[in-house]
């Protein structure tokens, strides 16, 4: 993780100017033990399957990634010019840790892996702009029986 002091003054100020809304309710709730949880991944890495529509800079939509996807089927159309793609190119699990979840599932450390995972393009928009699509994804996670999500902000 880079420190603000390591960034140029302009880049540091850009991050400091980000809107961080306050929650009116408690954003975190208790749930079952990890070994009883069904887990999904939600990433802002701009990932999708090769044949899916690319993300663009002003994109507030999401892409559905099946739980049985082969990781070599995923591509990244993250539109931030400041994002270093080296980690993704070396190991997709850096931004989409599905192999880690599969290992946890096999070891009995989690109950199961969700049927579907979700990817957003996190660049270029205020977090609050994603609320309508985030609510939609939340409903789909609930329908899939998911009670825990690994959030991978990129």
pLDDT tens digit sequence for 63-72: 999 999 999 9
Average pLDDT over residues 35-59: 92
**Separation CA 143–CA 141 (nearest Å):** 5
Q: Does 80 have pLDDT greater than 70?
A: no
Q: What is the pLDDT of residue 35?
A: 96
Q: Does residue 7 sit within a domain?
A: no
pLDDT tens digit sequence for 4-33: 888 899 988 888 887 777 778 876 778 889
Q: Does residue 77 sit within a domain?
A: yes
CB-based contacts of 54, cutoff 8 Å, min separation 6: 48, 77
CB-based contacts of 123, cutoff 8 Å, min separation 6: 46, 57, 78, 79, 80, 83
Q: What is the pLDDT of residue 26?
A: 75
pLDDT tens digit sequence for 87-144: 667 788 888 999 999 999 999 999 999 999 999 987 667 778 888 999 999 999 999 9
Q: What is the pLDDT of residue 87?
A: 66
Q: Does residue 114 sit within a domain?
A: yes
Q: Does residue 55 sit within a domain?
A: yes
- Could you tell me whether strands 148-152 and 38-43 are parallel, antiparallel, or unpaired per DSSP bridges? parallel
Helix or strand holding residue 10 (H, E)? helix 9-16
Q: Does residue 123 sit within a domain?
A: yes
Confidence bin at 37 (pLDDT 50/70/90): very high
Q: What is the pLDDT of residue 138?
A: 96
Q: What is the pLDDT of residue 59?
A: 85
Q: What is the pLDDT of residue 57?
A: 79
Maximum C-alpha span of the chain:
47
Q: Does residue 8 sit within a domain?
A: no
How many folded domains does the chain comprise? 1
Average pLDDT over residues 25-50: 89
Q: Does residue 25 sit within a domain?
A: no
Average pLDDT over residues 39-51: 93
Q: Does residue 39 sit within a domain?
A: yes
**Separation CA 98–CA 122 (nearest Å):** 19
Residues spanned by the domain of 145: 33-152
Closest CA relative to residue 52, chosen from 89, 71, 77, 70: 77
């Amino acid at each position: 993780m880079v420190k603000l002091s390591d960034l140029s003054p302009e880049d540091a100020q850009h991050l400091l100017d980000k809107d961080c809304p306050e929650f009116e309710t408690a954003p975190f709730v208790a749930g079952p033990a990890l070994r009883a949880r069904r887990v999904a991944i939600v990433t802002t890495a701009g990932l999708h399957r090769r044949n899916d529509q690319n993300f663009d800079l002003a994109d507030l939509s999401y892409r559905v990634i099946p739980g049985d996807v082969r990781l070599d089927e995923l591509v990244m159309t993250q539109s931030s010019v400041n994002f270093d793609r080296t980690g993704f190119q070396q190991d997709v699990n850096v931004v989409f840790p599905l192999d880690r979840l599969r290992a946890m599932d096999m070891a009995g450390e989690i109950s199961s892996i969700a049927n579907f995972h979700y990817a957003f393009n996190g660049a270029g928009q205020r977090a609050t702009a994603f609320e309508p699509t985030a609510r939609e994804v939340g409903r789909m996670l609930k329908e899939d029986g998911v009670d825990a999500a690994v959030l991978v902000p990129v």
